[in-house]
Amino acid sequence: MILQLAGFCALIALLELDTTYVGQFLISRPLFIGTIIGALTGNLFLGLQVGIFTELIYIDYMPIGGAIPPSGTITAALTLLMNYFFKMDIYFAFFVGIVCGQMFAFVERYLRNKRGKILEHVEKKLVDMKITPGKVIFKSILIEFIAVFVFIALSMIVFGPLFAYLHQDISDKVHVAFKFAYYIVPWVGLCGLLLSFSTKPKED
């Protein structure tokens, strides 16, 4: 199980690089990540559904300028991994995924600020030609990979057993509430999607 989990963490960390750092072919978008993990865990339809729900719920976030939106990749991936490894009900897993996706935005902000702090030192070395920009970028990408890997692994280690511990005490009413909130997501998201295609300029 640990090896399998590590494999998933590595795969997600690798694909997550596509969000910002390498390529941006959008293979890291929840639709793809969800479907890939769904296929690997033997539930393609669930993966597809989680991927679409995640995309729809994050539809109003754009990585414009310096904005750091919550990570849809982390949300979709963790939702499916929690469901697969800890048999967490999908509506609870989605909630955990959303929380983790938001938390990862803080990790990303921290990493970008950290790079900002060492920038002066890096620039000096680049101008003096003591290092090449390729090396700088490679190190940065490697650190990002490790950060995502650790973040996913830690989230799984913390939230998975916590859910298993609490599971029996969760009343049926809470199940109903989370389930209904989960099935509200696509409709709310579709409204957001429709409005995102609005051609009218925004009023101030």
Q: Which is nearer to other proteins, 157 or 167 (CB)?
A: 167
- Contacts of 167 by beta carbon, 8 Å cutoff, 6+ apart: none
Identify the residue whose tokens are 């409709």: 187
Task: Give the CA-trace dihedral at 17, 28, 156, 71, to 10 degrees.
Answer: 90
Stretch that binds other proteins, among 1-9, 62-70, 152-160, 161-169 (CB under 8 A): 62-70
Stretch that binds other proteins, among 7-15, 54-62, 79-87, 155-163 (CB under 8 A): 54-62
Residue 169 is a binding residue for other proteins (CB under 8 A): no
Residue 43 is a binding residue for other proteins (CB under 8 A): no
- Distance between CA 113 and CA 135 in Å, rounded? 19
Q: Which is nearer to other proteins, 123 or 158 (CB)?
A: 123
How many residues belong to the site for other proteins (CB under 8 A)?
77
Q: Which is nearer to other proteins, 97 or 160 (CB)?
A: 97
- Half-sphere exposure (Cβ direction) of 35: Cα atoms closer than 13 Å: 8
Identify the residue whose tokens are 């994050």: 58
Residue 177 is a binding residue for other proteins (CB under 8 A): yes
Residue 178 is a binding residue for other proteins (CB under 8 A): yes
Residue 166 is a binding residue for other proteins (CB under 8 A): no
Among 37, 55, 96, 160, binds other proteins (CB under 8 A): 55
Residue 134 is a binding residue for other proteins (CB under 8 A): yes
Q: How far is the CB of 154 from other proteins (least distance, A)?
A: 22
Residue 42 is a binding residue for other proteins (CB under 8 A): no
Among 1, 64, 169, 204, binds other proteins (CB under 8 A): 64
Nearest C-alpha neighbor of 12 from the set 24, 25, 32 = 32
- Distance between CA 186 and CA 59 in Å, rounded? 11
Residue 116 is a binding residue for other proteins (CB under 8 A): yes
Residue 136 is a binding residue for other proteins (CB under 8 A): yes
